[in-house]
Amino acid sequence: MGISSYVSEQPSTCYLQALTHLKASYIRKETVKALLETIPHLAFVIITIYERYLLQLENRNAFHRIKNAEQRLDVFEKTQPGLSNRVKGKLLASYLNVSPQQLSRIRNC
């Protein structure tokens, strides 16, 4: 899952659990290397993917530095429209680093 796992080719210590239905795919590092040898221009696509990953990481870090829980919920709803209605309140509260009761109060304001 993590970049360090991909680079080191070691099993990841992180695991993901989907909270909504999704389609997922993966590609082995050896396959990527073989494709790059065959299609050198594919490197541009990979760089673009890395850039997007870094931007998401930067945005996630900035999100978690927001002190005000109401502002965190507002940013979450703007960046992930509709998702807050599709996941359990307890999980959303945990992500926002608030109690489920606090999330309920914020939503009712």
Does 97 lie in the same domain as 75?
yes
44-78: pLDDT as tens digits: 999 999 999 999 999 999 998 999 999 999 999 99
- Residue 102 identity: Q
> Whole-model pTM?
0.71
Does 105 lie in the same domain as 90?
yes
User: Cα 19 to the chain's mean position, in Å?
Assistant: 12
Does 56 lie in the same domain as 17?
yes
12-21: pLDDT as tens digits: 888 888 888 8
Per-chain mean pLDDT for the chain: 91
Task: For the chain, give the DSSP string.
Answer: --HHHHHHT---S-----SS--------HHHHHHHHHH-TTHHHHHHHHHHHHHHHHHHHHHHHT---HHHHHHHHHHHSTTGGGTS-HHHHHHHHTS-HHHHHHHHH-
Model confidence at 1, in pLDDT bands (50, 70, 90)? low
Domain boundary among 65, 83, 101: 65
Containing structural domain, residue 101: 68-109
